[in-house]
C-alpha cells in the first residue's frame, strides 16, 4: 500500500529506537509521554514499539476516545429519545454498547429496532428522507475530526429543507482537555503525542499554550509505527535538551500548519464553543461544541423534549481515572473479570479506541 508499507519498516524502527535510547543513556529519572487519541493508543499497543524503547519512557493514554469521554447523561438522553415512538436514532457503531445509567442503545435496539448504525453522518439524511413521518436524531459524538462532517451534514439539511433531521451534539475539543490535565497537577506529563487527525483539522496553533504556558513539548504524530517512533524521537530530544518546549509536526504529509481551513470554517459556522461535561474530567470550560441559534431547527435538545433518568455510575468502574491517566486498567477490580469487551461495564472497555479494550486485547495483565 502506497505511503503505508514504508512507515512499517522494521529496520528503520530499530534505528529510530536506537537513536531515542541513545539520548537517554545519561538521563536520570522517568519520562511520561501521553497520547490523547484512541487510534494512537491501539497503534502503540498493536505495533509493540514501546518494547524497543528504554524503560525510562512511560506511555500514558489520555482522554482521546470520544465514546469514552461522553458522560452517562448523553447516553441516557439518547436512550430516552430512542424510546419516543416517532424517533429514529442514527449513530456510529461504537456508541451502541456503551452502558448508560440503566440500559444501553444495544439493549434498546433489540427492543425497538429504531436505532440505526451508520458510517457517515450523511446517511442520516437518507434515512430522514425515507421516513418523513419520523424524527431522525443523529448522535454527534467525536472531536474536531468529526465535528466538521456533522456541520457539513447540518448545512446540507438546511439547504435541502429537512424538517425531520436533528443532532444531539456531544462534540468536544481536545486542547482544553489536555490543558485541564496539566492544571489538575494530578499526573506528571513530560510530553504530549498530539492526535494526527484532530490536528489535520485544527493545525498546530491550538497546542501552542501547552508548550508556551505549561512548558510541555507537544508533537503532532501520524499513526504508523515509524511515525510514532519519529514523533517520540522529537519529544525525547526536546525533553532531554531542555532548551525550549515547542509544538512540532511529525505528520506533515497530512497536517498543515494552519489545519484544514475549510473544515474549520464550516465547524465554526454551525457550532459555538461552550463548557462541556467530560467523563473523568468533569465540566471543562470552553471544551464543547453546541449548535448555534441560526441552526437550532436541527438541535435535538432544543426541538425534541424528553424526560431523562437520573444519572447513575457504576461504583467500581474507574474509567474516569483511566481517561485522566491517573489509574491503569488493571488497577480496576472489574477489569477482565466482570468487565470485558463482550460484556463491558465501562465505556473504556467498549470502544475500539478505549484504553481498557487495548489493555485487554494486547496486554492482559
Partner 1 sequence: MCLAIPMKLIKIEGNKGIVALSGVKKEISLDLLKEVEIGDYLIIHAGFAIEKLNEEEAKKTLAIWEEIGTLQKQ
2 contributes a contact to partner 1 by CB under 8 A: yes
DSSP, res 363? I
Site stretch for partner 1 (CB under 8 A), options 39-47, 55-63, 284-292, 315-323: 39-47
**Least gap, CB of 123 to partner 1 (angstroms):** 8
Measure the CA dihedral 245/193/143/148, to 10°. Answer: 70
Query: 3-state class of 166 per DSSP?
Result: strand
Site stretch for partner 1 (CB under 8 A), options 12-20, 167-175, 180-188, 357-365: 12-20
Write out the three cell numbers for 250: 511529525
Residue that the C-alpha cell 439524511 belongs to? 125
- Beta strands at 271-278 and 282-291: parallel, antiparallel or unpaired: antiparallel
**For residues 84 and 88, what is the distance between their CA atoms, to the nearest angstrom?**
9
Beta carbon nearer to partner 1, 270 or 334: 270
117 contributes a contact to partner 1 by CB under 8 A: no
Structural Rg of the chain based on CA atoms = 21
Beta carbon nearer to partner 1, 170 or 182: 170
Beta carbon nearer to partner 1, 190 or 195: 195
94 contributes a contact to partner 1 by CB under 8 A: yes
262 contributes a contact to partner 1 by CB under 8 A: yes
Beta carbon nearer to partner 1, 261 or 338: 261
Beta carbon nearer to partner 1, 92 or 166: 92
170 contributes a contact to partner 1 by CB under 8 A: no
Say how many residues touch partner 1, by CB under 8 A: 53
**Least gap, CB of 257 to partner 1 (angstroms):** 11
1 contributes a contact to partner 1 by CB under 8 A: yes
Query: What residues numbered 119-138 form the site for partner 1, per CB under 8 A?
Result: 119-123
230 contributes a contact to partner 1 by CB under 8 A: yes
DSSP, res 99? B
Q: H/E/C letters for each residue in 27-89?
A: CCCCEEEEECCHHHHHHHHHHCHHHHCCCCEEEEECCCCHHHHCCHHHHHHHHHHHCCCCEEE
Write out the three cell numbers for 148: 466538521
Residue that the C-alpha cell 477489569 belongs to? 335
Exactly one of 70, 180, 260, 355 binds partner 1 (CB under 8 A); which one?
A: 260
205 contributes a contact to partner 1 by CB under 8 A: no
Query: What residues numbered 316-335 form the site for partner 1, per CB under 8 A?
Result: none
Exactly one of 20, 35, 39, 59 binds partner 1 (CB under 8 A); which one?
A: 39
Helical ranges in the chain per DSSP H: 10-23, 38-47, 66-69, 72-82, 105-112, 122-130, 147-159, 174-184, 196-202, 208-212, 225-241, 261-270, 300-303, 319-324, 355-358
**Least gap, CB of 94 to partner 1 (angstroms):** 8
Exactly one of 252, 274, 303, 363 binds partner 1 (CB under 8 A); which one?
A: 252
Query: Strand 87-91's sheet: what is its strand order?
Result: 115-117, 87-91, 135-140, 165-169
270 contributes a contact to partner 1 by CB under 8 A: no
197 contributes a contact to partner 1 by CB under 8 A: yes
Q: Which residues contact 7 (CB under 8 A, 6 or more apart)?
A: 222, 224, 225, 226, 227
Q: Are 45 and 362 in contact (CB under 8 A)?
A: yes
Query: What residues numbered 275-304 form the site for partner 1, per CB under 8 A?
Result: none
Residues that bind partner 1 (CB under 8 A): 1-4, 6, 11-12, 15-16, 18-19, 37-39, 42-43, 92, 94, 119-123, 142, 145-146, 148-149, 152, 156, 195-197, 200-201, 222-224, 226, 230, 250, 252-256, 260-263, 266, 352-353
Amino acid at each position: 500500500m502506497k505511503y503505508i508499507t514504508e512507515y512499517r519498516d522494521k529496520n528503520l524502527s530499530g534505528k529510530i529506537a536506537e537513536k531515542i535510547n541513545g539520548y537517554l543513556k545519561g538521563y536520570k529519572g522517568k519520562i511520561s509521554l501521553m497520547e490523547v487519541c484512541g487510534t494512537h493508543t491501539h497503534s502503540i499497543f498493536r505495533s509493540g514499539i514501546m518494547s524497543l524503547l528504554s524503560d525510562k519512557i512511560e506511555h500514558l493514554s489520555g482522554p482521546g476516545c470520544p465514546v469514552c469521554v461522553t458522560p452517562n447523561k448523553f447516553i441516557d438522553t439518547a436512550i430516552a429519545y430512542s424510546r419516543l415512538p416517532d424517533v429514529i436514532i442514527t449513530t456510529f457503531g461504537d456508541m451502541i454498547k456503551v452502558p448508560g445509567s440503566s440500559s444501553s442503545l444495544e439493549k434498546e435496539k433489540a427492543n425497538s429496532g429504531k436505532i440505526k448504525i451508520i458510517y457517515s453522518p450523511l446517511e442520516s439524511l437518507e434515512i430522514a428522507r425515507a421516513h418523513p413521518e419520523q424524527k431522525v436524531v443523529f448522535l454527534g459524538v467525536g472531536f474536531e475530526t468529526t465535528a466538521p462532517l456533522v456541520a457539513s451534514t447540518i448545512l446540507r439539511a438546511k439547504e435541502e429543507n429537512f424538517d425531520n433531521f436533528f443532532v444531539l451534539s456531544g462534540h468536544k475539543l481536545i486542547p482544553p482537555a489536555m490543558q485541564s490535565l496539566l492544571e489538575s497537577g494530578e499526573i506528571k506529563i513530560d510530553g504530549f503525542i498530539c492526535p494526527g487527525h484532530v490536528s489535520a483539522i485544527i493545525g498546530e496553533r491550538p497546542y501552542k499554550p501547552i508548550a508556551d504556558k505549561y512548558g510541555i513539548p507537544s508533537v503532532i504524530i501520524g499513526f504508523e509505527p515509524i511515525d510514532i517512533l519519529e514523533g517520540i524521537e522529537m519529544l525525547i530530544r526536546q525533553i532531554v535538551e531542555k532548551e525550549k518546549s515547542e509544538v512540532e509536526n511529525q505528520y506533515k504529509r497530512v497536517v498543515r500548519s494552519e489545519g484544514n481551513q475549510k473544515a474549520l470554517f464550516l465547524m465554526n459556522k454551525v457550532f459555538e464553543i461552550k463548557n462541556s461535561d467530560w467523563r473523568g474530567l468533569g465540566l471543562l470550560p470552553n471544551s464543547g461544541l453546541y449548535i448555534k441559534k441560526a441552526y437550532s431547527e436541527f438541535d435535538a435538545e432544543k426541538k425534541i423534549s424528553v424526560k431523562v433518568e437520573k444519572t447513575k455510575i457504576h461504583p467500581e468502574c474507574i474509567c474516569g481515572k483511566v481517561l485522566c491517566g491517573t489509574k491503569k486498567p488493571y488497577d480496576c477490580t472489574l477489569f477482565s473479570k466482570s468487565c470485558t469487551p463482550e460484556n463491558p461495564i465501562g465505556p473504556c472497555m467498549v470502544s475500539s479506541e478505549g484504553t481498557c479494550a487495548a489493555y485487554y486485547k494486547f496486554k492482559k495483565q
